[in-house]
Amino acid sequence: MTKAKTTLCFPDGEKSCFGCCPPIRPAGYDHLDYRGMISRMLLENTKAFNPARQDIRPITGFSCWAIGYLDESYSTVGCLLHPYRYGGVDMRYRVSFEDKCRRETCEEAKIFQALSCRAQTALLRPVKGMDSFTYSSGKANPLFRMLMWGSPLLESVANETDEAEGHLPRHNEAPFKSWNNFIRRYPFFASSLNPKAHSYIVTSIVQRLGTIFLRKDESRDELELFSAAALARIRKLGHVESGRQTWTHLLDLPKPFLDYLRLGAGIARITQEGALEIKAALDSMIATAFF
């Protein structure tokens, strides 16, 4: 029997993430803020659900009648109409949001799927004791923020080895026993820096210096100083407005770098040539400052 692939949505049999259900939610919404009310709704939905029915009942507002508990212990939460429950047959047409429900995949989940099995296992270890509500919360579950640093950086951390004289290298497992352990090992990740805005720079630094950069208490301050210097350099380059400019995120360049342009440097539109000039300058600064 083939082992089911681990996903961020259903990491184990104890909990699940239902942060994207239903597919329409107000900005800043978090299920954990309404735990009591939603728990009652989930229980009512589960008890009222009839899998034999096929009628269409469109959802309204920010709740969905097809979200309920998926197991007898009332621990995992998800869609009662999901094709996984019906041998691949998608019943989500019954809520009139079939296409949107099918498309709904968070960026964190995509990054998680790009990780190796070792990295996935390591990152899930600190959240083992969470229930579905806490695990689904963007503010209570630090894993979601961690994932936004991107798979290359997280692979470097998860596959780091501890070497002691006279012993074979051991994989870096101790820091992942809890989030407190992790932060003690890598204090850099306790910073409030925007991961998407700084992922390109930090990943480039770690590729040069190794994960030792992440272990230093002063790394956050070093990065903030570097970011300010990089912005000053970019402003000096200057880029003349032209009709050839396009939206930054559409350029044919690595996504982490484009995220830096948009979120770090505040550049929403630019030409391909201009972006390449900035990338060359930024890469040169990184090589000079962190070598």
Q: Give mean pLDDT, residues 244-256.
A: 92
Report which residue type is found at 117.
Answer: C
pLDDT tens string 106-117: 999 999 999 999
Does residue 87 surpass a pLDDT of 60? yes
* Domain range list for the chain: 31-104, 107-185, 196-291
DSSP string, 184-241: HH-GGGGS---HHHHHHHHHHHHHHH-THHHH-TTHHHHHHHHHHHHHHHHHHH----
Q: Give mean pLDDT, residues 26-40.
A: 91
Residue matched to tokens 């999901």: 82
pLDDT of residue 290: 80
pLDDT of residue 116: 93
Spatial separation of the C-alpha atoms in residues 172 and 156, rounded to whole Å: 10
Q: Give mean pLDDT, residues 251-267.
A: 95
**Cα 70 from chain centre:** 24
The b/e string for 180-191 (b: 16+ C-beta within 10 A; e otherwise) is eebeebbbbbee
Kind of pairing, strands 246-247 and 77-79? Answer: unpaired
Does residue 163 surpass a pLDDT of 70? no
pLDDT of residue 78: 93
Summary mean pLDDT of the chain: 88
Does residue 5 surpass a pLDDT of 80? no
Q: Give mean pLDDT, residues 78-101.
A: 86
Bridge partners of 161, per DSSP, are 171
Does residue 170 surpass a pLDDT of 90? no
pLDDT tens string 204-221: 999 999 999 999 999 989
Whether the CB-CB separation of 77 and 60 falls below 8 Å is answered with no
Spatial separation of the C-alpha atoms in residues 118 and 125, rounded to whole Å: 11
Predicted confidence band of residue 97 (pLDDT cuts 50, 70, 90): confident
Is this model's pTM higher than 0.85 or not? yes
